[in-house]
Amino acid sequence: MSTTKKYPIGMHPALPPPSGSVGPVRWMRDNLFSSVSNTVLTVMGLYLIYIIVPPFVEWAFIDSVVLGADSRKECLKIMGDDRGACWSFVYKRWGQFVYGFYPVEERWRVNLAFLLVAATVAVVLVERLRANKALMIGALLLPVICFFLITGGLFGLVDIPTNKMGGILLTMIVGLTGIFVSLPISIMLALSRISKLPIFSILATIFIEFIRGVPLITLLFIASTLLSYFLPPGSNFDLLLRVLIMVTLFSAAYIAEVIRGGLAAIPVGQYEAADALGLSYWQSMRLIILPQALKISIPGIVGSFIGLFKDTTLVVIIGLLDPLGIGMAAISTTEWSGLGTELYVFIGMFFFIFCFSMSRYSLHLEKKLHTGH
Amino acid sequence: MSGTQVKEKKSVTLGSIWRDKHSRGVILQIIAVIGILLFLGNIVSNTVENLDRLGVKVGFDFLSEPSNYDINQTLIEYSSSDSHFRAGLVGLLNTLLVAVCGIVVATILGFTAGVLRLSNNFVLSRLMQVYVEITRNVPVLLQILLWHGILIHSMPVPKKAEALIEGVILTNRGIYLPQPIPQEGFGWVWIALLVGIVFAVFFKRYANRIQTETGKLIPAIWIGFVAVIGLPLVTYLLMGSPIEVSYPELKGFNYKGGFVIKPEFMALWFALSIYTGAFIAEIVRAGIQSVSHGQTEAAHALGIKPNFTMRLVVIPQALRVIIPPLISQYLNLTKNSSLAIAIGYMDLVATIGGISLNQTGRALESMGIVLGVYLFISIAISAAMNVYNKRVSLVSR
Amino acid sequence: MKKLLPIAVSLAALTAMNVSASTLEDVQARGVLKCGVSTGLAGFATPNDAGQWEGLDVDLCRAVAAAVLGDSEKVEYVPLTSKVRFEVLKSGEIDVLSRVTTWTFTRDASLGLNFAGVNYYDGQGFMVPAALGVSSAKDLDGASICIQTGTTTELNLAEYFKLNGMSYEPVPVETSAEGRQNYIAGRCDVYTTDASALAAQRSVFEDPTAHVVLPEIISKEPLGPVVRHGDDQWLDIVKWSHNAMLNAEELNITSKNLDERGANANDPSAQGLLGTNEAKLGAMLGLDKKWAYNIIKQVGNYSESFERNVGKETALKLERGLNALWTNGGIQYAPPLK
């Protein structure tokens, strides 16, 4: 039975690829060792991983101490010859890292606020829940609820002065306020900047370029020291509030530019169509232009938020106690001095987890919006 | 846009003015101007009143007074008897120094990582991805502090340090290097360098013209390179090597002589370069990916070699996408250099906006200067940016 | 129309804005004194394990609170770096700055501030590791020196080294904690600041004996509380809160014996100070009759405060030295209570 079966031209079933052109060997040959220079680079890359990853894992996890030490000396005693990280100060001061100096018996309020924020994020992210009007209105009320929860003064809640707020709570307050309050401002700024009314456009441009032209730290410095010169004599308001105002203006200027980019990407036809329907300026913006522009700006806005979130660490320079400030206070005590590396790595991991997941989400959104077209 | 408007002949009432798109715009703008003027006027009057109440004078006369403090890294001659103005200038130069060094390294890092991120080499592209994701998502202030901590804790103190090679010593007070000190006659070497550069530029233009006219390729790059390097080298040798090298030597507490790079500078430089490099890598990747694959295929079809395809087809088109965000990253890096204050690098914010402000109490004036300088830098760069954008957009369409 | 400030108006709705001319009225209306202190300097201002602030500077805040509000615990402490302290005081965010601040001509004359006395006479010194084998500041040519920015020590240092024809590398730091880290890591050979602060820094090292303070004191550093220009009554209150503690020591009135001394009709000076006779010293300051009584009862006299915070029994182990009363060979000299 050695007859070869005849196939019409072009109808021959696909043959398996020649051996050596598939499988891990082939993949490695293609991707790792395709040329001499490529091989060298691969080996160098692997070597780099080898000299960085195992020692770090050993230092941070295997040889490290978390429990059972009340000072760096005790940490060293427990570790013996294997010098790993001493995380005990984080464990000991965990409460401060999360809540700052918020009174212990009132911390449930912060927990509740965190929970509400998490729930809201879930509502906004999950499409099925987003359709529910009642839930969305609840989400919009969230900032107000959280404000009263955390500062108190209503419903018999004890007033908590803002200088008691620190740690992750402070990061959240600054970051979230910055983004939510700045959104409407930035929309107004973006619309003003592209407005045909020259005065509005000039004013918005000056404001945006000024804020974007100077470092945030100088703005924070102004908030902490110079702002009082500009206010009526004798008036005075809270340092945290002044910082929040500056941070809001700062992020508004950046987000305004993102939204302006979104507005510029809307085809002229859309504007003309709105005009043709006889819509007023505000109607056309509200119903036609802004929904589209904001939708394409979302990845950029999330990007700005990540930037803002990271920038909240700068408040430590003007004396507010964010997680970094709390940690610096901890390592300046006799017991824990000399643990700078541990502190920076710990805070770094905290920010990485938050920012990385946000940037992944933004990427996911970008992909989704992309396929929608 | 208002060509279709019908002239109304009814009597003009307040309502009709308001309903008219054009006049409403004018009214709104007038209101905005009045509001802003009132706001600014209020700020000025408050400030004047506050300063009056405290009995504080305003003026820039303090700039000419002696600063009375020392700075550890100065690019120009400076001592504590120089003025606050000069101290500020030293700070500004330090800011520019770290910004320029940071921009150079960040660009190199960013382009390398961006290109490698797209390479077929699985290990490398993943490695670059990890680098980008980690550094981009950790606050730069932390990275600066971490680098500073590593440098001052892991390097030996000068007394225990040993020379790596002759004249190169790593200590926690900086890296000491031999410093070439030009002697008499070295000026000719600079002149030779200048001549070499001018020659190289003109030769390249000439070569381009020849190529467009005749199609003949002249290796202008190589010839120019030889001119720029060779001419000064020959001059240097002819002048009898007019350079003396100062080697660092341990004298008392510290090394003396030689050239030193302080750990504060290094920490800031590394952290800013690595942080910004990650952003640049993403920009470069997006730029290269934005060039449609058809362009590469077309180049292949025209018989252009792969090497030239990248240089002549892909890169020029990618650059149009890359450069605007790249410049804005450069600006970010410059602004982030103000975080120097956290580790005691004496930049603009630390000198005039820090010590001078504190010693003289002239907060408004000092911060005004700092803001002004940063604004000037960013507006100048933005303006250059706009010019560039206009040029490329004209070329492209 | 001049006062129209739309933004401030909306902010005013959010925050309690207090516009008032007198600091005293402000503090009394608020019921708490806002006092600017160090971010953490053992012996002068530092929070203890229970989170309570203590120290010589803190005691001054407590004395003012006791005089004005009758309760030394009604103080809100605002930790400040040396860099921002004056701006924060000028902005009205704090009522008094009690933060090892040197009284100098420029600060007094040009910053719009007033110094209300001297609660510690100090001078700038140097600390070096004992292993360095340095015995005099004159041997420090070429050294790297850690120094807090925005302080008078920065200026003294530049002047001292220039005068002696020596060179040095300044290593600027923002806080004493940062300075300590740099010093321990060996980034600098020498740590310089006020001698009292050096003692404080040394006391928190793992092995204090491994560091020596050099004998040279290169400057005069009279440290004292600071208030804003333009409120003389408040200046007087702060000034006399401090003087009351000094006078109490001079009269030998302590927190233990004050009730007994106040009851003694043959002791008019003590009775005047403690408000137990007809003299109305408190009223002249706009305060309660018991103002000084409250200070001494709750805070103690100067000697008690000194010994409790920085004296020989503490980790700082400071001698009274210049800070002894004038009757004991020092220069602490309070004007008489007449």
Query: Are residues B123 and A45, on separate chains, in Cβ contact within 8 Å?
Result: yes
For residues B310 and B319, is the Cβ–Cβ distance under 8 A? no
* Helix, coil or strand: residue B255: strand
- The pair of structure tokens assigned to B153 is 């804790």
Domain extent listing, chain A? 90-102+164-371, 103-159
Q: Which residues of C touch B81 (CB under 8 A)?
A: 162
Chain B residue with minimal CA distance to A205?
B379
Helices H / strands E in chain C, number of each: 14, 14
Return the bridge partners of C126, or none.
C192
Segment A228-238 shows an average pLDDT of: 77
Query: Are residues B70 and C168, on separate chains, in Cβ contact within 8 Å?
Result: yes
CA pair distance A255, A179, nearest whole angstrom = 9
On whether both C251 and C193 belong to a single domain, the answer is no
Q: What is the CATH number of domain A90-102+164-371?
A: 1.10.3720.10
Q: A-C interface: how many C-beta pairs under 8 angstroms?
A: 74
Query: Are residues C189 and B251, on separate chains, in Cβ contact within 8 Å?
Result: no
Q: Which residues of B touch A281 (CB under 8 A)?
A: 21
On whether both C192 and C245 belong to a single domain, the answer is no
Full 3-state SS string of chain A? CCCCCCCCCCCCCCCCCCCCCCHHHHHHHHHCCCCHHHHHHHHHHHHHHHHHHHHHHHHHHHCCECCCCCCHHHHHHHHCCCCCCECHHHHHCHHHHHHECCCHHHHHHHHHHHHHHHHHHHHHHCHHHHCCHHHHHHHHHHHHHHHHHHHCCCCCCCCCCHHHECHHHHHHHHHHHHHHHHHHHHHHHHHHHCCCCHHHHHHHHHHHHHHHHCCHHHHHHHHHHHHHHHCCCCCCCCHHHHHHHHHHHHHHHHHHHHHHHHHHCCCHHHHHHHHHCCCCHHHHHHHHHHHHHHHHHHHHHHHHHHHHHHHHHHHHHHCCCCHHHHHHHHHCCCCCCCCHHHHHHHHHHHHHHHHHHHHHHHHHHHHHHHHCC
Among the candidates C196, C219, C242, a domain finishes at C219
Give the domain CATH number at C85.
3.40.190.10
- Nearest-CA distance C111 → chain B (Å): 6
On whether both C38 and C160 belong to a single domain, the answer is no
C-alpha distance from residue C31 to each of C69, C217, C297 (Å): 7, 42, 20
Q: Which residues of A touch B124 (CB under 8 A)?
A: 41-42, 45
Q: Which of B81, B157, B355 sits opposite C154 (nearest CB)?
A: B355
pTM value is 0.86
List phi, psi (to 5°) of A303.
-60, -45
Q: Where are the beta strands (DSSP E) in chain B?
A: 163-165, 168-171, 174-177, 179-182, 243-246, 249-251, 254-256, 259-261
Query: Are residues C175 and A332, on separate chains, in Cβ contact within 8 Å?
Result: yes
On whether both C241 and C286 belong to a single domain, the answer is yes
Chain A stretch 230-259, residues whose beta carbon is closer than 8 A to a beta carbon of chain B: 230-233
C-alpha distance from residue C197 to each of B108, B344, C53, C120, C313 (Å): 46, 20, 17, 11, 17
Kindly state whether residue C77 falls inside one of the protein's structural domains: yes
Kindly state whether residue C205 falls inside one of the protein's structural domains: yes
Determine whether A76 is exposed, middle or buried from the number of CB atoms within 10 Å of its CB (0-12, 13-18, 19+).
Answer: middle
On whether both C115 and C141 belong to a single domain, the answer is no
Kindly state whether residue C274 falls inside one of the protein's structural domains: yes
- B5-28 per-position pLDDT tens digit: 445 455 667 777 777 778 888 888
User: Cβ of B241 under 8 Å from any chain C Cβ?
Assistant: no
On whether both C194 and C237 belong to a single domain, the answer is no
CA pair distance B395, C65, nearest whole angstrom = 73
Q: What is the pLDDT along chain C (338 residues), one digit of tens a residue?
A: 333 344 444 344 334 344 456 899 999 998 999 999 987 788 898 877 666 888 999 999 999 999 999 999 999 898 888 778 888 898 888 999 999 999 999 899 888 899 999 999 999 999 999 998 899 999 999 999 999 887 888 899 999 999 999 999 999 988 777 888 889 889 999 999 999 888 888 887 878 889 999 989 999 999 999 999 888 999 999 999 999 999 999 999 999 999 998 888 888 888 889 988 888 889 999 999 999 999 999 999 999 999 999 998 888 888 898 999 999 999 999 999 88
On whether both C117 and C26 belong to a single domain, the answer is yes
Residue B8: enclosing H or E segment and its boundaries? none
- The pair of structure tokens assigned to A95 is 């409460």
On whether both C82 and C198 belong to a single domain, the answer is no
User: Cβ of B375 under 8 Å from any chain A Cβ?
Assistant: yes
Q: What is the pLDDT along chain B (397 residues), one digit of tens a residue?
A: 444 444 545 566 777 777 777 888 888 889 989 999 999 999 999 888 888 877 777 889 999 999 989 998 888 999 989 999 999 999 999 999 999 999 999 999 999 999 888 887 888 889 999 999 999 999 999 999 999 998 998 888 888 888 888 888 899 898 998 888 887 778 888 888 899 899 889 988 888 888 888 888 778 888 888 888 888 888 888 887 778 888 888 888 888 888 889 999 999 999 999 999 999 999 999 998 888 888 888 998 998 887 788 778 888 888 888 888 999 999 999 999 999 988 989 999 999 988 898 888 888 999 999 999 999 999 998 888 888 877 776 454 3
List phi, psi (to 5°) of A173.
-60, -50
User: Cβ of C162 under 8 Å from any chain B Cβ?
Assistant: yes
For residues B123 and A42, is the Cβ–Cβ distance under 8 A? yes
* Helix, coil or strand: residue B121: coil
On whether both C117 and C229 belong to a single domain, the answer is yes
Chain B residue with minimal CA distance to C2?
B42
Q: Within 10 A of C165 (CB to CB), how many other CB atoms are there? A: 7
On whether both C203 and C276 belong to a single domain, the answer is no
Q: Is the ipTM of this complex over 0.85?
A: yes
According to DSSP, residue B153 is labeled H
Among the candidates C176, C193, C219, a domain finishes at C219
- Residue owning tokens 């819509």: A279
User: Cβ of A278 under 8 Å from any chain B Cβ?
Assistant: no
Chain B: touching chains (3 or more CB pairs < 8 Å): A, C
Among the candidates C163, C192, C219, a domain finishes at C219
- Nearest-CA distance A70 → chain C (Å): 13
Query: Are residues A334 and C3, on separate chains, in Cβ contact within 8 Å?
Result: no
On whether both C202 and C145 belong to a single domain, the answer is yes
Of the residues C7, C9, C11, the best mutation for testing chain A's interface (the one with the most A CB atoms within 10 Å of its CB) is: C11
CA pair distance B306, A358, nearest whole angstrom = 38
For residues C329 and C319, is the Cβ–Cβ distance under 8 A? no
CA pair distance C302, B42, nearest whole angstrom = 47
On whether both C203 and C131 belong to a single domain, the answer is yes
- C4-58 per-position pLDDT tens digit: 344 444 344 334 344 456 899 999 998 999 999 987 788 898 877 666 888 999 9
Residues 6+ apart with CB under 8 A from C255: C296, C297, C298, C299, C300, C301, C304
Query: Are residues C143 and B263, on separate chains, in Cβ contact within 8 Å?
Result: no
Using CA atoms in the order B3, B8, B9, B11, what is the torsion angle rounded to 10 degrees?
A: -140
The full DSSP string for C119-165 is SEEE-EEEEEEGGG---SGGG-TTEEEEEETTSHHHHHHHHHHHHTT
Kindly state whether residue C10 falls inside one of the protein's structural domains: no
Range(s) of the domain holding residue C291: 21-121+223-322
**How many domains would you assign to chain C?**
2
Report which of residues C333 and A158 the model is more confident about: C333
Q: So what's the pLDDT on residue A20?
A: 65
CA pair distance B60, B85, nearest whole angstrom = 10
